[in-house]
Structure 1
């Protein structure tokens, strides 16, 4: 039995080719097994662009199965939009899972898939539409897990973590006449990659490719002009600032997809996703129609947060437990907020105060409820961002002749030297190496453990120890903040 993996992305290859003739007929006529099993895969999924807005999806399994569940079943978008081809295959929604049921064990089957542009809570969107009709496909939606029968599905009671079995590596092959963008490269004809527990975004369409020194991607040309112009200026500024602070550029350009859903709805809505070095954002709403300084500031912050992750993951091993995600999510918040404040010039100090006032207000109830590292078990995962940002702020201010980047660089070096994942212990060890006072580190360590009678007083004490000048109102809410 292997532990279920639902985080790591392993991209193996993008197969670029120039077909001798039109691929459309071949793609339409293909069926299960016609393209073979990919090397290193326990099963292969071939996704054929049918040219009419639908996709043919062919599964080839190494071992015959009687039933399968989709590992990503949130959103309930498959039933009614995915149709099995032929007899003996059923797609049903059972006990919180999208399930495939077979009359007899089989190794091959096909479906016709009509994309549904939904946004499952806490998961990647299966398809992201661009205003010109192009789209990005998230390949992780095709991952399946073997189960014995409907009784086994019922026994899971909607809990994916209760599944036991062999989680095979999935091979994904996408065939299309349309130009594709994958892993920062323009690809014709076929894209191939393998994944286990995750997937990748593959863009299909004729959208304009934006290639800059630090990133490459597709910016929806339907976006308002002011957004496109701001992106062109702001993204380079974000990368340049980070390259200075991290003391090196990215080894490979980031991959950026920015889709626009139009301005028919009021206000502003967006959803962002990050996989490996790819950043995807889909935005819409009437608030985007006219230039908005506040919205531009938010877009700067969003992309600065996500690009910070690119640099965080460049050296050493990955993150440790879910409970320790305050280290990288909070750290990215701290870095993004400081970077945007710098971009805002004279308005920067007010922006810092307002941002950390929100983080403070959001963090207090999390610490009052229990340890920070179990916040996700209390449905308080936002605490990883808010409390983590405040810890990052304190460490940033308390590092002599350095900042939060100094500590992160030290932690990356320790992780690399020891072949050890980033963790709370490693973070605080790096902070100590960077000169942060041992008493302050111990204080933060206790604060993370929770249980303090007055978490507000403990946070304020940490700020005082770091030399941060903070003003609070009568309700213990942060009003203004001044860095040393």
Structure 2
């Protein structure tokens, strides 16, 4: 989405809800523990303890994050970038001179974005920081065996700090696909959610985010009739207020929403920024309710269902709560129709899932909350992820009834 303000809504859930490629594993997962300790404002210490001695620790690469920000503290360990069985997924490996059951790293704050991936760190103006935990998981090698890890993590902040771990899932690996927060702030209540908001956020924008979070979370909670299985926390950080335009990067991870704000345009209240923020908060919150299940939920197939579905859920919520006028909703839908025409023949296009997905939901001419309550119930009941077959079955059943 672009206006004369150079608004950027980048890295919403289409690339935040991806599943990281797994490294080939030939045996059961190895129990392991990680103690992650914040030792300075811009540094962490990661201490791994393995149930058996390992000779190699490998993780899918995240740009140059590990080669520049991770420093092995264990002697006899060297870093090596290497290919994997998947040509488009290089690996970061740490090779041990001799097998060990302990491995430690010092990790420096990293402020860039990993290509097509999560931001490793989100920094707050008051010294707080979010660190993405998915980059701490990987595979280990014992002799000629390669195994995944069943990783349990303990967190320790600086003295007096608030520490908010990622949401907890029965699947320990899934629990890591989110951010841990370390910092001086305690979250504030915002409807059915909690909010950690960077104090550098301009007052008008902070008020908008708080009001939108409260309104949207209350609407989703009452309309979708499912109490959240995990505490919902939104983490909003401010990168800078000096670059041109306005950028809001981030989105929904597993049971959590994170955004990084930047750009001097946010210093002054502007209707285009207001509408963008309202839509993104509503869209990402829709994903939280799509994933508010003990099994099933969002998968890799048919991205237009969860992305176009989140667009439809967001537009419904924005209109029903009076956050957007009927005219604003209609204008947004018409823009989606126009965007879909441009990419209709490109199902793998980033915009297809959003614009064409929304158009497909609009074409059903049915009650969006009722449809999504049925889809959520179905994925919970069967354990299947949302796909086109489920969508077709549920929508046909609603039209027959």
Q: Does 1:54 align with 2:66?
A: no
Question: Which residue in 2 is equivalent to 1:404?
Answer: 368
Question: Which residue in 1 is equivalent to 2:265?
Answer: 287
Question: Which residue in 2 is equivalent to 1:68?
Answer: 57
| Root-mean-square deviation over aligned CA pairs | 3.2
Change (3 A) 1:101 1:330: same
Change (3 A) 1:103 1:350: same
Q: Does 1:110 align with 2:87?
A: no
Change (3 A) 1:261 1:420: closer
Q: Does 1:391 align with 2:373?
A: no
Question: Which residue in 1 is equivalent to 2:127?
Answer: 133
Change (3 A) 1:181 1:413: same
Question: Which residue in 2 is equivalent to 1:80?
Answer: 68
Counterpart secondary structure, 1:110:
strand
Counterpart secondary structure, 1:75:
coil
Change (3 A) 1:68 1:362: farther
Question: Which residue in 2 is equivalent to 1:233?
Answer: 211
Change (3 A) 1:89 1:247: closer
Higher relative contact order (CA 8 A, sep 6+): 2
1:289 shift after superposition? 0.4
Question: Which residue in 2 is equivalent to 1:121?
Answer: 115
Contact 1:362 1:386 in 2 (8 A): yes
Question: Which residue in 2 is equivalent to 1:91?
Answer: 79
Instruction: Find the partner of 1:167 among 143, 148, 161.
Output: 148
What are the equivalent positions in structure 2 for 1:181-196 lying under 5 Å apart? 181-182=163-164, 195-196=172-173
| TM-score with structure 2 setting the length | 0.81
Contact 1:67 1:101 in 2 (8 A): yes
| TM-score with structure 1 setting the length | 0.68
Query: Which one is further off, 133-142 or 79-88?
Result: 79-88
Contact 1:269 1:285 in 2 (8 A): yes
Q: 2: distance between equivalents of 1:180 and 1:58?
A: 20
Change (3 A) 1:415 1:97: closer
Q: 2: distance between equivalents of 1:91 and 1:97?
A: 10
Question: Which residue in 2 is equivalent to 1:415?
Answer: 379
Q: Which runs of 5+ in 2 are unaligned?
A: 1-16, 21-28, 84-89
Contact 1:184 1:253 in 2 (8 A): no
Q: 2: distance between equivalents of 1:363 and 1:412?
A: 26
Counterpart secondary structure, 1:91:
strand
1:390 shift after superposition? 1.0
Counterpart secondary structure, 2:67:
coil
1:147 shift after superposition? 5.3
Q: 2: distance between equivalents of 1:194 and 1:316?
A: 10
1:145-179 Cα distance to aligned partner (Å, 9 max, x none): 23589xx9xxxxxxxxxxx9432211222222242
1:404 shift after superposition? 1.5
Q: 2: distance between equivalents of 1:45 and 1:305?
A: 33
Counterpart secondary structure, 2:147:
coil
Q: 2: distance between equivalents of 1:436 and 1:113?
A: 57
Change (3 A) 1:211 1:321: closer
Contact 1:319 1:325 in 2 (8 A): no
Count residues in correspondence. Answer: 369
Contact 1:65 1:107 in 2 (8 A): yes
Question: Which residue in 1 is equivalent to 2:140?
Answer: 146
